[in-house]
Amino acid sequence: MKGVPYLVPAAILALAFTVASAYDPSPLQDFCVTINNTDSTVFVNGKFCKDLATVTANDFFFPGLNIPGNTAASKLGSSVNLVNVDNLPGLNTLGISLARLDFAPYGLNPPHIHPRGTELLVVMEGTLLVGFVTSNPNKLFTKVLNKGDVFVFPIGLIHFQFNIGQTNAVAFAGLSSQNPGLITIANAVFGSNPPINPDVLAKAFQLDKNVVDYLQKQF
């Protein structure tokens, strides 16, 4: 029993390390530029590190975010150009990524989540209706944003952005992970591969099975 008082701080410390491990780890070196060469001798956070002697400024550089995305190519009228560790190698272990979001009039970035990152959005042009939904009991926080406005979407929560204006809208988003991940709700539920049993979806969404069949065919 004499050791019991020490168990409480030890348990708290263990929990803190467990929670911390759910996010990108702090780097143990200045940087770890990724390389696809599996013969590399250093492996950090799912990526191999490039030999420091071969690192160049281009490893920390990504061009083109000044170019509007092609919103016409999307049924939803939106385009997201994500800059993460997969196309900017110097981001590896740094715990951050960036995206440009373009919206046609009434374009939508549909409800989705980033399982590994909080998102900070700033509107550069246009007017966006944005919002996120908490875990149960599912409270909605929503706001209309104009040019220069900023809104934060907490990690792992369903959120969306919708252009309610009659002109194009542009926003930039910073995310607190080198690879925040993306799960688009409608695609995941109705477009999974293999598909979720229609009886499950009909029961969960209180829909006629024919409606579920129709929705699954859209994805």
Binding site for Mn(2+), by residue number, is 112, 114, 119, 159
For residue 196, what are the CA distances in angstroms to 12, 90, 115, 181, 199? Answer: 39, 38, 21, 21, 8
| Residue 164 CB neighbour total at 10 angstroms | 16
Which amino acid makes up residue 80?
V
Please give the structure tokens belonging to residue 13: 């410390």
Annotated binding site for oxalate: 109, 114, 119
Annotated binding site: 109, 112, 114, 119, 159
Residues 101 and 113: their CA atoms lie apart, in Å, by 15
Sheet holding 150-153, edge to edge: 78-83, 97-103, 169-175, 119-125, 150-153
Sheet holding 140-145, edge to edge: 140-145, 128-133, 158-163, 108-113, 183-184
